[in-house]
């Protein structure tokens, strides 16, 4: 029995691995991409429901331009690597939130948040 558990762990680890599209590196996936996107979309919705968007039209437009450029770059990379089918897994959305903190982050599935507290630092 003591030998069975390590063998099962090795088998489980190897079967849970997938190959990273751009690097060819193997990685352990404990959560599927679909589940990860679902969690990301829910967390982003919660952020939008609880934190006000910035009223700064000029800088919000800049965030949208940068977001559009990121979207185009990601889609170009996916197409170049034969992964066009992955594009449908993205629901791109980028917003600037009224939060006096220096922070910006991207979530799986194309959700991007920028806090307006970062603007004085840029």
User: What pLDDT digit, counting tens, does each position of 4-47 carry?
Assistant: 667 666 655 555 667 766 677 777 777 788 899 999 999 999 99
DSSP string computed for 10-55: HHHHHHTEEE-TTT--EEE-SS-HHHHHHHHHHHHHHHHHHSPBP-
pTM of the model: 0.78
User: What pLDDT digit, counting tens, does each position of 55-67 carry?
Assistant: 999 999 999 999 9
Domain positions in the chain: 1-30, 39-121
User: What pLDDT digit, counting tens, does each position of 90-107 carry?
Assistant: 999 999 999 999 999 999
């Amino acid at each position: 029995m003591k030998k069975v558990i390590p063998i099962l762990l090795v088998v489980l680890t190897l079967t849970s691995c997938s190959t990273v599209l751009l690097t060819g590196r193997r990685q352990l996936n404990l959560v599927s991409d679909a589940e990860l996107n679902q969690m990301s979309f829910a967390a982003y919705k919660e952020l939008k429901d609880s934190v006000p968007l910035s009223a700064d039209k000029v800088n919000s437009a800049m965030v949208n331009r940068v977001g559009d450029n990121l979207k185009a770059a990601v889609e170009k990379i996916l197409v170049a690597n034969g992964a066009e089918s992955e594009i449908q897994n993205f629901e791109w959305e980028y917003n600037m939130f009224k939060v006096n903190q220096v922070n910006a982050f991207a979530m799986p599935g194309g959700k991007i948040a920028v806090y307006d507290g970062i603007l004085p630092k840029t």
